[in-house]
Amino acid sequence: MLIYGYKTFFIQTEKVESADYAYHFALIAEEADNEYWRQIEKGAKETASKHHIYLEYLAPKRANNDKLLKLFDRVISAKVDGIIVQGVEGDRFVELVHKSVEREIPIINVDTDVPNSERKAYVGTDNFRAGELAGKTLIESTTGEQHVGVVTGRFDAINQKQRLKGFKKAIKDIPRIHVVDIKESNITSNGAAQAAYSLLKQYPQINMFLGTSALDGIGIVDGIQQIADNKAFTIIGFDLLPETLQLIKEGKIDATIAQYPKQMGKESVNVLLELQEGDILDDEIYIDTKVIKKGDLSSLQDGELP
């Protein structure tokens, strides 16, 4: 798959040269067909089109840091004018950012930041604050003892770790709230369903779930239906995917921490465009996050700011 993507990249690069675009940017996503990343792509391509920029969307078929890093390396070698990429933990990512800087290719981190690299800017959610919002929402939405099962996208993802840290900070002084266990979904709804099912089987006292990535809330609902359909749960998810909003409407998810991936994509391209002209003043561009509940649905459009 990556080899095919590599060939396609160079074929498309030739087309870019013949089409005489102003610039050629690359967006490297965590996972190719993930709905959240497709929203980032949509926003990025809308802005790129307005400025006659060719924007190429590239990603591993399934989320995998090693494959993403290999793709990042190949894109650097293709000598594009700028790269938007999800930050990845570890020395290899830092080395690749340095390699791109040596070749005068500016790097923007989107969704997940690696501030100790030479990236020019981060565009995305303040993930620690988003986790805090989830914790505060749980506190405000519940009374009595809460036994929390957490489903997180990937244990090796920086943004997921930051959200969990923020969540734990928000609830640390609330003795009635207990995090029972944390399981991984591999950023798929099926994985989240399996994680929720496993958590309930192992810890039947769980009465609240937090899902920290886009498909977790959806999967948690499915997992509950398989093992404890008649029990009441408080569920807090992440993101504004259509199915998540529908489940909030039906009362199956209580709240979601809204991110705006389309806006992230737009702003990332704007920042790269600024960097073609010179430097930028702010290297952390946080896109708004907020809590969305059933009463907020009428003001929402999928992926857009309400």
Over residues 271-295, mean pLDDT: 93
Total-model pTM: 0.86
Instruction: Read off the pLDDT of residues 143-168 as tens digits, 9 standing for 90 and up.
Output: 999 999 999 999 999 999 999 999 99
Place 280 in a pLDDT band, splitting at 50, 70 and 90.
confident
DSSP string computed for 282-304:
-SEEEPP-EEE-GGGGGG--TTS
Place 300 in a pLDDT band, splitting at 50, 70 and 90.
low
Instruction: Read off the pLDDT of residues 205-259 as tens digits, 9 standing for 90 and up.
Output: 999 999 999 999 999 999 999 999 889 999 999 999 999 999 999 999 999 999 9
For the chain, the domains span 2-125+260-288, 127-258
Query: So what's the pLDDT on residue 19?
Result: 61
What CA–CA distance (Å, rounded) separates 91 from 77?
A: 19
**The two domains 2-125+260-288 and 127-258 share their CATH topology (first three levels equal):** yes
- What H or E segment, with its residue span, contains residue 234? strand 234-238
The CATH number of domain 2-125+260-288, selected from 3.40.50.2300, 3.30.365.10, 3.40.1360.10, 3.40.50.10860: 3.40.50.2300
Residue 145 DSSP one-character state: -
- Return the HEC string of 86-114: CCCCCHHHHHHHHHHHHCCCCEEEECCCC
| C-alpha 216, offset from chain centre | 12
Report the CATH superfamily, name and number, of domain 127-258. Answer: Response regulator (3.40.50.2300)
What CA–CA distance (Å, rounded) separates 39 from 27?
A: 12
Lowest-confidence region among 12-16, 140-144, 256-260, 265-269? 12-16
Angle at 49 between CA 22 and CA 43, to 5 degrees: 125
**Among residues 261, 285, 236, which one has the least CA distance to residue 133?**
236
